[in-house]
Amino acid sequence: MQELEFKILAYLKGELNKNEQHQVEQWVAASDANRQTFDDFEKIYKSSEINLDHFNPDVDRAWQVVTDAIDHSKKPSRIMLYRLAAMITLVIGLGFIVFQYQSTSDQHVATTSDNEIKKIELADGSVVWLNENSVFTYPKEMDEDERLVSLVGQAYFDIARNPERPFKISGQKTMVEVLGTSFNLISESNYSNVNVTSGRVAFALTDNEEIKVVLEKGSQATFEQNRLVKNDSFNENASSWMTKDFVFKSSPLSQVVEILSEHFDVKIKVDDAIKNCLITSAFEDKELDEILDTLEAIANIKNEKKGKTIKLTGPGC
């Protein structure tokens, strides 16, 4: 169930797990437009008043009913459109909602599930890589004055330069504005981070754009605990989820394993004797076993595996 449209319907039917429910609720809270879209789907769903689990429609007859209704109402009211949508839903299943929504909205919605990364090419030539468990909303055609999208989760942006049409990314608490640049963005309800690879980025609060920082290539900023903080350092591994490359420069082993644990979805335990050992190495598209072999070669760090748990030991530094 990749498309948000299906997730909304499953949400309304109570078929999602807690993580999926939270994902939908985050998306709804991100903007008034998202809330309106959700409300529209809810109206369509409730207008049916039929238990779909035990409904076996006569498809030919149902299509004839829909056709007759359309013929008698060339300019149907909004309520009529909802009822027509509900009838067609009964005919061909919940998949119709995707068509109905996309044909009446100027927005696309891209979602990702566990361990899924999605590449999205926008109408202006910009490219977005969406990380797992994220929701990205963007227009089919960009506005003449500005390019506005929204994000819940994490994504890497490579924005086509256009000084006359700023590119804005709306989050739940923060707003990012660029002209043409590339950067990694995390946008959650209580945490946001921008890590700039190239160009310049303005990072501001959604409800007060006067509170902002301007970031250059090689810098980052974080919003956390209601504070916006600029950091002139650069997180080399902010986009490793996309590139599959890791760079460590005199990084404590405890920090290295934290990054590797998150990326490879494993639990790595480190003996106190080696947790502060400094690691300097680069790994380009390497599997975890290859990285562990390299750590053993350069720092005499042994590893012992038990399921999805790995224990690192060594003589110390």
Residue 286 pLDDT greater than 50, yes or no: yes
How much is the average pLDDT of 287-308?
92
Tell me the average pLDDT of the chain.
80
Q: 52, 79, 105: which is the final residue of a domain?
A: 105
User: Kind and range of the H or E element at 137?
Assistant: strand 135-139
Q: Which amino acid is at 5?
A: E
Residue 74 pLDDT greater than 60, yes or no: no
Confidence grade of residue 8 (pLDDT, cut at 50, 70, 90): confident
pLDDT value, residue 119: 96
Q: 70, 105, 140: which is the final residue of a domain?
A: 105
Q: What are the distances in angstroms from CA 109 to CA 7, 37, 101, 139, 149?
A: 11, 11, 10, 9, 10
pLDDT value, residue 172: 77
Residue 251 pLDDT greater than 90, yes or no: yes
pLDDT value, residue 3: 57
Contact 249, 236 (CB under 8 A): yes
Residues 54 and 124 in one domain: no
Residue with tokens 């076996």: 56
pLDDT value, residue 24: 84
- Cα separation of 245 and 194, whole Å? 19
Q: What are the distances in angstroms from CA 73 to CA 44, 68, 69, 103, 192?
A: 19, 9, 6, 19, 48
**CA nearest 133: which of 292, 315, 2?**
2
How much is the average pLDDT of 59-83?
48
Residues 118 and 191 in one domain: yes
Per-residue H/E/C for 260-278: HHHHHCCEEEECCCCCCCE
Q: 89, 105, 121: which is the final residue of a domain?
A: 105
Q: Looking at the domain assignment, is residue 236 inside a domain?
A: no
pLDDT value, residue 5: 63
Q: Looking at the domain assignment, is residue 221 inside a domain?
A: yes
Q: Looking at the domain assignment, is residue 118 inside a domain?
A: yes
Residues 274 and 172 in one domain: no
Residue 239 vs residue 143, higher pLDDT: 239
Residues 211 and 121 in one domain: yes
User: 147-158 and 220-224: which strand pairing?
Assistant: unpaired
Confidence grade of residue 44 (pLDDT, cut at 50, 70, 90): low
For 250, the domain range is 244-313
Q: Looking at the domain assignment, is residue 124 inside a domain?
A: yes
Span 158-195, pLDDT tens digits? 999 998 899 999 987 899 999 889 999 999 878 999 99
Residues 143 and 201 in one domain: yes
Q: Which amino acid is at 207?
A: D
Total domain count for the chain? 3
User: Kind and range of the H or E element at 211?
Assistant: strand 208-216
pLDDT value, residue 218: 93
Q: Looking at the domain assignment, is residue 238 inside a domain?
A: no
Q: Looking at the domain assignment, is residue 209 inside a domain?
A: yes
Q: Looking at the domain assignment, is residue 133 inside a domain?
A: yes
End-to-end CA distance of the chain: 49
Span 13-40, pLDDT tens digits? 777 787 778 888 888 888 777 887 787 6
How much is the average pLDDT of 90-101?
40
- Cα separation of 54 and 139, whole Å? 37
Residues 57 and 119 in one domain: no
Residues 193 and 125 in one domain: yes
CATH number assigned to the domain comprising residue 290 = 3.55.50.30
